[in-house]
Amino acid sequence: MARPIIGIISNSHMISDQYEVQGAGVINIAAVAEVTGGLPLMVPADPDHVHIQDLMTHCAGFVFTGGRPNVHPEEYGEVETAAHGDFDRKRDRLALPLIRACVEHGLPILGICRGFQEVNVAMGGSLYPEIRDLPGRTNHRMPPDGTIQEKFALRHAVTFTDGGVFHQLMGAREVMTNTLHGQGIKQAGARIVVDGVAPDGTPEAIYVEGAPGFTMSVQWHPEWNAADDVVSRPLFEAFGEAAGAWDRFGEMRPALKTA
């Protein structure tokens, strides 16, 4: 049986400040290939070159990856400031409507870091530009020094809602995660359920209430060591099962409407 195609939303960056490329982290690709059982497909984050209808026709699920640029605050009705950092308006134009279309039709999505924030914004929510500047919050950013292993090390606990979907999936109410983000949820979007929080109250795990498909998203980076981590593996496996189920009913996909 053919593996379900999993679209991995890529990020734009420049080589030598001159040559624009689209890329996705190898750890995202490996997590999809090795844990979900899917066929990873890198999706350029540019709606001028890829169209939502085509993507939803051919893919059985999407991973909305992390990325250094942030969602532009205009997408949630706020004014841009220096604290909001860098942006990728092309990815905004692709990711946000794609998320809404997937939620409506039940096509599985997994949001990671920026992707987690995209899911919230797509559903009408807003973001804080810098978590560490808020009273009582800690610094959730990537450590500036150390090896890549040290940067992705487990740094804080996440506590899930008792009996919630993440608690049921993980088999534990508290897990340890890495943390490599500056922004975070300010106002949860319509139907967004915050199902897990860091010790300082920062939302870390969400899903879309009443969605007909898989919508679990996390603020941390489960793609790191996904095959062996006791928290990451169940999340990617559950996403892969949802994508496989969607793929088995693929004859329904040509009828999808995204307008």
Phi first, then psi: give them for residue 124, nearest 5 degrees.
100, 10
Predicted TM-score of the model (pTM): 0.94
Q: Give the pLDDT confidence score for residue 14 in this predicted structure.
A: 80
Cβ neighbours for 199, distance < 8 A, ≥ 6 positions apart: 138, 156, 157, 159
Q: Which two tokens stand for residue 178?
A: 């890495």
Residue 113 annotated in active site: yes
Domains and CATH numbers, the chain: 5-14+21-255 (3.40.50.880)
Q: Which two tokens stand for residue 164?
A: 């919630």
Tell me the CA end-to-end span of the chain in Å, nearest whole number.
32
Cβ neighbours for 214, distance < 8 A, ≥ 6 positions apart: 61, 108, 109, 110, 238, 239, 242, 243
What is the identity of the amino acid at 126? S
What gap in Å lies between CA 58 and CA 60, rounded to an integer? 7
Taking alpha carbons only, the member of 88, 2, 77, 1 closest to residue 44 is: 88
- Residue indicated by tokens 């693929």: 250
What gap in Å lies between CA 224 and CA 113, rounded to an integer? 12
Q: Give the pLDDT confidence score for residue 67 in this predicted structure.
A: 87
Of these residues, 72, 105, 140, 221, which one is catalytic? 221
Residue 223 annotated in active site: yes
Q: Give the pLDDT confidence score for residue 250 in this predicted structure.
A: 60
Of these residues, 118, 130, 204, 223, which one is catalytic? 223
What gap in Å lies between CA 220 and CA 178, rounded to an integer? 6
Cβ neighbours for 118, distance < 8 A, ≥ 6 positions apart: 64, 71, 95, 96, 99, 111
Q: Give the pLDDT confidence score for residue 72 in this predicted structure.
A: 94
Of these residues, 59, 113, 140, 167, which one is catalytic? 113
pLDDT tens by residue, 186-210: 999 999 999 999 999 999 999 999 9
SS3 169: helix
Q: Give the pLDDT confidence score for residue 68 in this predicted structure.
A: 84
Q: Which residue numbers in the chain have pLDDT < 70?
A: 1, 250-259
Q: Give the pLDDT confidence score for residue 254 in this predicted structure.
A: 43
Cβ neighbours for 143, distance < 8 A, ≥ 6 positions apart: 150, 151
What gap in Å lies between CA 27 and CA 103, rounded to an integer? 25
pLDDT tens by residue, 143-177: 878 899 988 889 999 999 999 999 999 999 999 99
